[in-house]
Amino acid sequence: MTSRERILAAIRRQPVDRVPTDIWATPEVMQLLRAHFGEGVDIREALHIDGFDGAAPVYRGPTLPATEPGESVDYWGIRRRTAAIPGGTYNEQSFNPLAHAQTIDDLGRYAWPQVEWFDFEPMRDVLRQAHAAGRATSCGYQAPFFFHNQLRGLEQSLLDPLADPEFTHALVDRIGGFFLAFHRRMFETCAGLIDVSQVTDDLGSQSGPLIGLDLYREFYAPWHRRMIALCHEFGILVMHHDDGSCRAFLPLLADMGIDLLNPVQWTCPGMEMTELKREFGGRLAFHGGVENQRILPFGTPEEVRAEVRHCIDSLAADGTGYILAPCHNLQGITPLSNILAMYDEAWRYGARR
């Protein structure tokens, strides 16, 4: 099987020749792997990683505001600053452009992004080349709750639905409306070339949901339903990313038609892998799973290999329906030996499933 055939078969819960794999990693980790394998070596090929290729439209909108050194700004007006962490850096959000909005009129004065600011045509050649090389493709990211968090700030975004439901509906409608229009244009331009798209949101925390199911049903689920339907209209499979303990939302998300759940952070309440496979494995596939807070950064290679087998035995118990990957970006403090052990064990043990 090609990587694309293997990935798509796993998502559709069809037979595979081995458990497919993917990689999520910080730039520092990718630099470490390039140094290990040498210039010119395809890291994914060397590690037997199937993964996804992607593409994005070219921004041709208004000139973005000036930034300070170490700062960036995107077309939403969201600013980020580079922050040092052990083993590398992260771009941490430093400005929420709608933090002080109080009325629906305030929302009307905000410079909302427009679909016309983007050129989608260059994506086509990139995606054609990926398919020609036997690679699966993933494009697009629709996340109404997460962008509510980013535009308002996390604390304020959690207060909004309780303090001012009318304002919250107006804000989320603006976010969701842009996402639908943006992705429809993308899907039309790249018809037949996109295999997977993300309809996603970080609804879970380390210990439980960030919001109640009642608020999710009222403010965000209707948009998720429309976004999932849009993807399926174009024959595109839906990946749903949800960190932490998101168990409370999974029955509704499965009913709405998500195809692939990431990252399966099994150390969080309600996310035990065998149980998830038993309850939802007939309706969706899983992506991620390999524990990335303790085992990958601080365990031994043998503990990493045991974790890989644990994930495969749990999430590919029927021989399919699972794409093995770390359950978050591999961090710069992760030993090279552990990364090599993860993909070697996936290659060897995954073929025996």
Residue 260, helix vs strand vs coil:
strand
Q: Give the pLDDT confidence score for residue 87 in this predicted structure.
A: 87
Instruction: Identify whether 89 is part of a domain.
Output: no
The per-residue DSSP string of 138-151 comes to EEEEE-HHHHHHHH
CATH number of the domain at 13, please: 3.20.20.210
Instruction: Identify whether 82 is part of a domain.
Output: no
Judge if the upstream peptide bond of residue 263 is cis by omega within 30 degrees of 0. Answer: yes
Instruction: Identify whether 309 is part of a domain.
Output: yes
Instruction: Identify whether 265 is part of a domain.
Output: yes
Q: What is the mean pLDDT of each run of 10 residues along the chain (353 residues)?
A: 98 98 96 95 97 98 94 97 89 96 97 98 98 98 98 98 98 98 98 98 95 98 98 98 96 98 97 98 98 97 98 98 96 97 98 80
Instruction: Identify whether 68 is part of a domain.
Output: no
Number of domains in the chain: 1
Domain that holds residue 237: 3-61+99-352
Instruction: Identify whether 317 is part of a domain.
Output: yes
Instruction: Identify whether 26 is part of a domain.
Output: yes
First to last CA, the chain: 15
Tell whether pTM > 0.85.
yes
Buried b (16+ CB within 10 A) or exposed e, 86-106: eebeeeeebebbbeebeeeee
